[in-house]
Chains A and B, each alone.
Chain A
């Protein structure tokens, strides 16, 4: 009995080792062949340093165009060319509302500099291939190295060694690098986009066929084509691409799109290919977003500030996500969200603090532009994030409260004071925006295009989900959609006539039957 069990175990182990282990090894051993330099061997990277900028200068010794390139990019400026839009400018959203010209400390944590734009570029933010947070290490190092006592000096030395150990492990950005900000933006994992959260660091094939290690294992920059540190992609009113071409037509395209690799006729079925003119690939191939982790659907600031017995309140939902916090108000999270569809030509209408709002209705701060009559518009999926946020009841403009604290003056923001009036006054003062002193809360909405989390083809949206009344496309106007649309009067009239005819012939038949019986 024991022997046979032992035999079985041995057999199972043998099968496991012969079948699976080589695969595990293979996955681990697989190297990025695009890397042609081993940074651990460079002497220039072994020198001493005292702050973040010293490290940056080591990088720039060889990568001598990088800084000039970076300073021109949107990732650095946080402003578009007109200087009106961007996190560092007047753009306002309905998550953390505004960065107050990058004065708000917590907002600036996502900036690619060591300390906002003030202390140079932090190359490691995008290029470090380990999980180490060098920005925070550097902060600790600076703190301890300033102190003269022995323990602190030792501590500083330890941190320095950690930085030295990690700083040589660099390369092209990974999903984790980009995700550090793009997955976690808007005050938490998955808060903003819906199709971007930390589940994409190592996604299953089910979640994203392109990014999954079991699929294409794409990094973000595989499609977000990067030229001179300028990363292609949509931002605010600027579309990601002007023209979609396949790589056969143009191999130096400014950004990789679906068409680049899949071509203009990706399906075997010509009827499906016929959809492409008016329906974006994303509409069918991303059946739902936030498929692994929840995404935020609502942020109502108007309820913030409540306390219970003098203490701050914090409530979480089944996902462990905050649904009420004294500092943030009410939030709502959901998984597996079916997108909302709009006509979209690749550009968004985007609000700034200089625009006025209508306090009687919901104001779209970021809204897709497009229409059925515009040749370049397609039906496209979106996440809608709703909110309620402060506005100036007199000037009818949205207001930018200071939330964490001002990096420059140390002024405390709403999260510390729970004082709207002070947070709004400080925020407006930093941005030199007039504030009447009277505020209210207005409903807002923000649309984010859904581009990621492309599902395997077998999970694509089924025909009937749109070709039906009250389906996914129930609000899409300007097209005749078979299965959804009717010619009301025609259907009713025709069915009535057919019913009457049926009754007529039945009566005719019964008449014949009765009369023939009577004759017989």
Chain B
């Protein structure tokens, strides 16, 4: 059964994706060390690496947002209900019976409705919250000097938010990594994120 290859992910997109993946994983590892969950790098080194990756991520995030709007790729993230139920049913039921994925990827629509909504929430709510709370955490001690701009007099709420969303992102990571195995072959999706091309099997439409 020979399928066709379509070009889904541009070079920038792939570099951005893997760099962001790396940063998030390192941030999670060092972040939970700073949180006191375990000790690995040593506290001061963990703080340094965490801050370095955090600031790098901010730059990368803005590059990504810029790219989204310049290329018009932001349209890929407009949520839709079309086939949403089908996709949910597929992952919870059809996949076990070897059914075909109800959503068909194309250059114009590379994310299924579930991906659209999850990535949209992640990129527009969760990540900005994490970045903003991170910046606040990082610059906490300088806020009073900037003219009483401190919204929180204590680090508590900021630390709470930053920790909460770290868990949310970790949760996403676990599911996201698992979902990559649900392609036609176990590594099909991961492969396409490296090469940019996705193998599409022949289908009836």
- Residues of A near any B CB (own CB < 8 A): 270-271, 273-275, 277, 462-464, 467-469, 479-480, 482-487, 490-491, 494, 497-498, 501-502, 505, 508-509, 511-512, 515-516, 519
Contact = CB atoms under 8 A, between A and B. Distances in A.
13 contacts: A277-B144, A468-B36, A468-B43, A485-B159, A486-B36, A491-B37, A494-B171, A497-B167, A502-B174, A505-B174, A505-B175, A511-B96, A515-B97
B43 A464 contact: yes
Interface string B162-180: 0110010011001100100
Contacts of A494: 164, 167, 171
B98 A519 contact: yes
B47 interface: yes
Given A468-B43, A498-B170, 16 more contacts: A270-B142, A462-B44, A463-B44, A463-B47, A467-B34, A467-B36, A480-B156, A482-B34, A482-B35, A483-B34, A487-B163, A490-B160, A497-B167, A501-B175, A508-B178, A516-B98
B56 interface: no
Nearest to B33: A483
A515 B159 contact: no
Given A498-B174, A505-B174, A271 B167 contact: no
A502 B170 CA distance: 11
Given A479-B154, A515-B97, A509 B140 contact: no
B116 to A, nearest CB: 21
Given A464-B39, A464-B43, A479-B155, A490 B163 contact: yes
B80 interface: no
Interface of B is mostly: helix
Given A462-B44, A501-B175, A502-B174, A482 B159 contact: yes
B140 A501 contact: no
Given A463-B47, A480-B154, A512-B95, A275 B163 contact: no
Nearest to A501: B174
A155 to B, nearest CB: 65
A503 to B, nearest CB: 10
Given A505-B175, A519-B98, A271 B43 contact: no
Contacts of A469: 36
B171 A512 contact: no
A464 B42 contact: yes
A275 B47 CA distance: 14
Contacts of B140: 274
A494 B167 CA distance: 6
Interface residues of B, number: 34
B149 to A, nearest CB: 15
A468 B39 CA distance: 10
Contact of A509 (B97, B141, B178): B178
Nearest to A271: B47
B36 A483 contact: yes
B155 A480 contact: yes
Contacts of B182: 512
Contacts, number: 83
B181 interface: yes
Contact of A505 (B95, B142, B167, B178): B178
Contacts of A516: 98
A19 B91 CA distance: 80
Contacts of B144: 277
Contacts of B171: 494, 497-498, 501
Contacts of B34: 467, 482-483
Q: Which of A273, A482, A516, A519 has the most CB of B within 10 A?
A: A482
B16 to A, nearest CB: 25
Contact of B141 (A274, A487, A490): A274
A498 B37 CA distance: 15
Nearest to B145: A277
A491 to B, nearest CB: 8
A479 B167 CA distance: 22
Interface in B47-61: 47, 51
Most A Cβ at <10 Å: residue of B44, B138, B156: B44
B184 to A, nearest CB: 12
Contacts of A508: 178
A265 to B, nearest CB: 11
Nearest to B34: A482
B141 A275 contact: yes
Contacts of B154: 479-480
A487 B36 CA distance: 12
Contacts of A485: 159
Contacts of A491: 37, 163
B117 to A, nearest CB: 18
A273 B154 CA distance: 18
A506 to B, nearest CB: 8
A480 B159 contact: yes
Contact of B167 (A464, A480, A490): A490
A143 to B, nearest CB: 63
Residue from B51, B96, B144, B160 with most neighbouring chain A CB atoms (10 Å):
B96
Contacts of B96: 511-512, 515
A283 B51 CA distance: 24
Nearest to B31: A482
Contacts of B44: 462-464
Contacts of A277: 141, 144
Nearest to B164: A490
Q: Across chains A and B, which 5 residue pairs bring their CB atoms closest together, nearest first? A: A274-B141, A494-B167, A505-B178, A480-B155, A464-B43
A34 B34 CA distance: 50
A456 B66 CA distance: 48
Contacts of B181: 509
B43 A463 contact: yes
B174 A462 contact: no
A447 B36 CA distance: 31
Interface string B77-107: 0000000000000000001111000000000
Contacts of A483: 34-36, 43
Nearest to B181: A509
A285 to B, nearest CB: 16
A464 B47 CA distance: 11
